[in-house]
Amino acid sequence: MVFIYAPKIRRPIKAALAAASEHLAGLLPLHLVYSQAHGTAIEDWIWSVGCNPFSSDTIARSYIITTLEESSQLVNSAIHLLVMEHTMENTFQLFQGQERELVNKYNYVVSLWRRVSTVTGELRYVDALRLLYILEEGSKGFVDQVNATIALLHPIHCMKERKVHVLFYVTTSPAFLVVLGILYFVLRPKRPKPKIN
């Protein structure tokens, strides 16, 4: 629910549009910030002078920052998956075959981060917004390449022979008999009670 503060009750259109644009763009009013020390929202009027929610710059900056943050989190999670892989002698050659493609896709995403930052710094928000789709696709491409590399390092080997080798331990047979006995007592048919009338 959007609460609107309208000092002029006769013409609340401007306040209603401001609240709607803030809500749709996912923005808070510019004077509200989160305080780490207090653990709550506080008012800070330093950055709100001259800015309003009708400004497309405010909404564009919000979209740019959100997309950059999501992209960096996606790339970092993919890198974390690679870091968690154990180095083994038989997977080293496989990884070297994928290394160039991984580095190229990572460098592509980093160059897009720099381009978006540079264009945003020059206040060319329309150009920066056009690069966001390319950045999302580049980030997903890097994650897909990481997943393909990890899948290549862990192939599923199918057995050619159709025999399954089962190991029996000394405790297997008695445990099996105990389980069968318990099932018999639980699931055995019950004797019908004779009816006496």
Q: Spell out the domain ranges in the chain.
A: 1-54, 55-155
Please tell me the distance from the alpha carbon of residue 22 to that of residue 55, in angstroms, as a whole number: 10
On average, the pLDDT of the chain sits at: 79
Q: Which is higher by pLDDT, 161 or 178? A: 178
Give residue 68's pLDDT. 93
What per-residue confidence (pLDDT) applies to 101?
94
The confidence score (pLDDT) of residue 53 equals 55
**What's residue 36's pLDDT?**
75
Both tokens of 46, joined, read 């330093």
Cβ-in-10-Å burial (0-12, 13-18, 19+) of 84 comes to: exposed
Is 106 in contact with 128 (CB distance < 8 Å)? Answer: no
Give the type of residue at 188: R
CA 124 to chain centre: 28
pLDDT score of 55: 60
Q: What is the pLDDT of residues 44-98, one digit of tens each?
A: 765 554 555 556 677 788 889 889 999 999 999 999 999 988 877 878 888 888 8
Helices marked H in the chain: 13-25, 56-83, 89-121, 125-153, 172-187
Angstrom distance (rounded) from CA 47 to CA 125: 19
Tell whether pTM > 0.85.
no
Q: Rounded to an integer, what distance in angstroms lies between the CA atom of residue 64 and that of residue 184?
A: 66
